[in-house]
Amino acid sequence: MHEEFMRRAIALSREKMRADEGGPFAAVIVRAGDVVAEGWNQVTGHNDPTAHAEIVAIREACRALGTFSLEGCEIYTSCEPCPMCLAAIHWAHIDRVYFANTAEDAAAIGFDDARLYRELALPHGERTLPMARLLADEALAVFHEWASDPDRVPY
């Protein structure tokens, strides 16, 4: 079954790429042997830099299942997830990731995630994107309020 789901992700990546809907990436989310959602790269089609295949599939799966947690699900993606997608997969609590192309394969055609991984490892002051902390006390007050709310929904 794993290969069948991966073949679907690869076929979807080809189909949507050829239809000029985005880059050569797609993902399929499966729960208990059933496809819950599919996603493909829609960055250029929707002018949305966050519309990577995995993100689109996660959004669709959450809508379909009516939950923000995808525990019990697996994701099949045509390429190793970038840092943003990997973080989203963790936040969604997906159980397992299967991928076809590697980050190195993606870099060879111009999608170089290594730069982002290097940036994330640096302290704020050493990153190429300038970052500055502002109004920490005011923002922390909101965090404390949320943490003390007995009706909060943890995630």
| Residue partners of 50: CB distance under 8 A and separation at least 6 | 84
pLDDT on residue 131: 87
**Chain segment 93-151, per-residue pLDDT in tens:** 999 999 999 999 999 999 988 888 899 899 988 999 998 889 999 999 999 999 999 99
The number of angstroms, rounded, from the C-alpha of 143 to the middle of its chain's C-alpha atoms is: 25
**Chain segment 53-78, per-residue pLDDT in tens:** 999 999 999 999 999 999 999 999 99
Residue 7 has pLDDT above 90, yes or no: yes
The Cβ of residue 21 has, within 10 Å, a number of other Cβ atoms equal to 15
Which candidate in 54, 71, 74, 119 is catalytic? 54
- Whether 3 is catalytic is no
Task: Tell me, letter by letter, the H, E, C secondary structure of 38-49.
Answer: EEECCHHHHCCC
pLDDT on residue 107: 92
Residue 43 has pLDDT above 90, yes or no: yes
pLDDT on residue 155: 83
Specify which residues 34 forms β-bridges with: 31
Report whether 45 contacts 22 (CB < 8 A). Answer: yes
Cα separation, 86 vs 68, in Å, equals: 16
Contacts 24+ apart (CB under 8 A), 122-126: none
pLDDT on residue 132: 87
Residue 50 has pLDDT above 90, yes or no: yes
Cα separation, 102 vs 40, in Å, equals: 17
- What is the Cα Rg of the chain in Å? 18
Cα separation, 39 vs 54, in Å, equals: 6
This prediction has a pTM of: 0.91
Query: In angstroms, what CA-CA distances link 82 with 21, 87, 101, 115?
Result: 19, 9, 12, 11
pLDDT on residue 115: 87
pLDDT on residue 154: 84
